[in-house]
């Protein structure tokens, strides 16, 4: 049996060496594409989609450009919206459904897959970390040691507040809300709100598919910290 490459080990979640020539080349390519995206003087919808597809290694031909800007924008109704700057390690491991939005300053350590369900909204300065390292410093061994990763999966219709950090192996269920500044270390059930460091469940969320839950005004994210401090529930 042929020995796995470091990239193949990375994608399988095994220990791998990140400073192999192949992975260095791929990170450098991703950095160049991110730099172009981040420094466009006028980031049109067409340019945004073009850079996104380059990050995805997607060679699907772009539709012919239309002279009317709005009409041309309308040719890309489902691809993600990205407000720069954005940082990724590889780019091709970030997969999105339809109508996903990333606000500015998002970071993706995407040695493993990071998926987003349709209509999910991501606030500014949110970080998704699939990467991890051995806890034994002798094995960890700085840049000469191995690392590994665990996938992150975000469901459909989620809302992730600003400055949230999502750690390796986390799955967030459909319709969940992650309060601003949360550090998410464990899975989040569908249609639940979490907040805090580490994030904990605040309440179950109303939805049209569950008439047993009361509907009403949403609690602003800015109020979450105060609620957490006094121990009350929303």
- Distance CA(11)–CA(149), nearest Å, equals 8
SS3 25: helix
- Catalytic residue numbers, as ranges: 133
What DSSP assignment string belongs to 29-88? Answer: HHHHHHHHHHT-SS--HHHHHHHHHHHTT--PPPPPPPSSHHHHHTT-SSSPEEPSPEEE
SS3 229: helix
Phi then psi dihedrals of residue 10, to 5 deg: -60, -50
Name the H helices within the chain: 6-12, 21-38, 45-55, 69-73, 137-140, 224-229
Q: How many CA atoms, within 13 angstroms, populate the side-chain half-sphere of residue 10?
A: 23
Contact, 15 vs 148, CB < 8 A? Answer: yes
Distances (CA, A) of 163 to 54, 106, 177: 26, 9, 13
Structure tokens at 211: 């008439």
């Amino acid at each position: 049996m042929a020995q796995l490459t470091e990239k193949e080990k990375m994608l399988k979640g095994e220990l791998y060496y990140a400073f192999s020539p192949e992975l260095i080349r791929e990170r450098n390519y991703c950095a160049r594409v991110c730099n172009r995206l981040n420094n466009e003087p006028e980031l049109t919808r067409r340019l945004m989609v073009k850079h996104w597809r380059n990050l995805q290694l997607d060679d699907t031909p772009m539709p012919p450009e239309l002279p009317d800007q709005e009409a041309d924008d309308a040719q890309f109704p489902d691809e993600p919206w990205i407000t720069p700057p954005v940082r990724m390690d590889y780019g091709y491991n970030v997969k999105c459904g339809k109508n996903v939005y990333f606000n500015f300053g998002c970071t993706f350590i995407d040695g493993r897959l990071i998926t987003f369900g349709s209509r999910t909204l991501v606030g500014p300065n949110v970080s998704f970390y699939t990467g991890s390292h051995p806890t034994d410093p002798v094995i960890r061994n700085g840049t000469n040691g191995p690392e590994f990763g665990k996938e992150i999966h975000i469901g459909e219709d989620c809302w992730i507040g600003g400055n949230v950090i999502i750690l390796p192996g986390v799955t967030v269920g459909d319709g969940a809300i992650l309060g601003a500044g949360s550090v998410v270390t464990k899975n989040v059930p569908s249609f639940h709100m979490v907040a805090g460091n580490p994030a904990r469940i605040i309440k179950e969320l109303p939805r049209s598919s569950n008439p047993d839950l009361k509907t009403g005004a949403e609690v602003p994210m800015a109020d979450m910290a105060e609620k957490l401090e006094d121990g009350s529930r929303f």
